[in-house]
Amino acid sequence: MRSISLTLLPICLALGLVACGKRAEGPNTPAASSAAASSDASTAKADASKPTSRVSSPDPAPIANTLPQLAYAYSAEVEASADAVPGLVARHETACRSAGPAICQITAMSLTSDGGVRAHIGLRAQPEWLQSFRAHLAADAQAVGGRVVKTNAVSEDLSRQLVDTEAALRAKTLLAQRLEGLLASRQGKLSDLIEVEQQLSRTQGEIDAARSELSMMRTRVAASDMTLDYSAPATFGAIWAPVTQATKGATGIFAGGVGVVITVFAAISPLAILGGLIALVARWFSRRKVRGGAGGKD
């Protein structure tokens, strides 16, 4: 019996050591950590493979906003004294010419002093320069004792015309290239080739016209127009100017009538003198005849 218990003792010790080793392995052991990591990875893969109810789509690309192609036209009316208007006109003309033709150009100019001083200037300039010019216009008028009595600004949207003209130009250019290809291949009858050449000539003319129109519209967008009208305020003499002119006209009419009368009198005077002489001679002969008849009866 003692021998049996000595034999079972090593076996019990071995089993106890194995049990203690299993209890020592917990969730913080390397083996447990690796197992947990493997489990999490497999779970993540499974979750990734499952379809989601909402799909986050990227934001749509913003639509390119093209600025409208506007052609501006400005106008202003300036009032100053009759003596100051010519100097103010010369100042504005010098300002435009000093900026250079690439910045400002004078398109029209006039100055009249018949019955009142009036002037006109037409400008075509870059929008930035013209904005500065318009900002100083009131100060320029005040410097000579004048004022700006009226301003106006209008714009025309050329965006659609520019797009349509550019599209037509591309289409006609492509047509011209195809027609040139047909002429280069020299295929077909001579009459067909002549017709293609005529069509190419017409298309080239339409291309040149479209390019010219496109250039004009782009110039109108790149440069703005402005008209300046100058005038002097009405004075006492200017107010009564119509009466003065009417008086001068009446005097001229009266003088003209007197001149007509003198002309007519001068024209008929010789005839009147001649008629008077004839009448005197006829009367003398008539008296002599009467006297001769009376003497014969005696």
The DSSP H or E segment spanning 198 is helix 190-222
For 117-179, the DSSP string reads -EEEEEEEE-HHHHHHHHHTHHHHHHHTT-EEEEEEEEEEE-HHHHHHHHHHHHHHHHHHHHH
The CA-atom distances, in angstroms, between 61 and each of 32, 54, 58, 68, 215 are 49, 21, 9, 21, 32
Query: Cα(262)–Cα(155) distance, rounded to whole angstroms?
Result: 64
* pLDDT attached to residue 292: 64
Query: Cα(219)–Cα(223) distance, rounded to whole angstroms?
Result: 6
φ, ψ for residue 291, nearest 5 deg: -65, -40
Interior/surface letters 120-148, b for 16+ CB within 10 angstroms, e for the rest: ebebbbeeebbeebbeebeebbeebebeb
Could you tell me the mean pLDDT of each successive run of 10 residues in the chain, 298 residues long?
Answer: 42 44 43 42 43 39 61 94 92 94 94 84 94 94 93 90 91 91 80 85 92 88 92 63 67 80 82 81 76 57
* pLDDT attached to residue 94: 95
Q: Which of 198, 211, 201 is nearest to 170 (CA)?
A: 211
| Residue at token pair 């080793």 | 21
* CB-side neighbour CA atoms (13 Å) of 186: 0
* pLDDT attached to residue 69: 86
* pLDDT attached to residue 20: 44
The DSSP H or E segment spanning 110 is strand 104-112
- Domain spanning 70-157, CATH class: alpha beta
Check if the beta carbon of residue 97 is closer than 8 Å to that of residue 125: no
| Residue at token pair 């009367």 | 283
Parse the chain into domains and list their residue ranges.
Answer: 70-157, 159-220
DSSP H helices in 25-125: 30-49, 85-99
* pLDDT attached to residue 89: 94
Cβ atoms within 10 A of the Cβ of 168, count?
16
The DSSP H or E segment spanning 190 is helix 190-222
Check if the beta carbon of residue 129 is closer than 8 Å to that of residue 95: no
Task: Record the tokens describing residue 213, joined without a space.
Answer: 């129109």
**Pairing status of strand 118-125 against strand 147-157:** unpaired
* pLDDT attached to residue 168: 92
* pLDDT attached to residue 102: 92
* pLDDT attached to residue 57: 39
User: pLDDT tens-digit profile of 219-238?
Assistant: 888 889 999 999 987 654 55
Check if the beta carbon of residue 131 is closer than 8 Å to that of residue 232: no
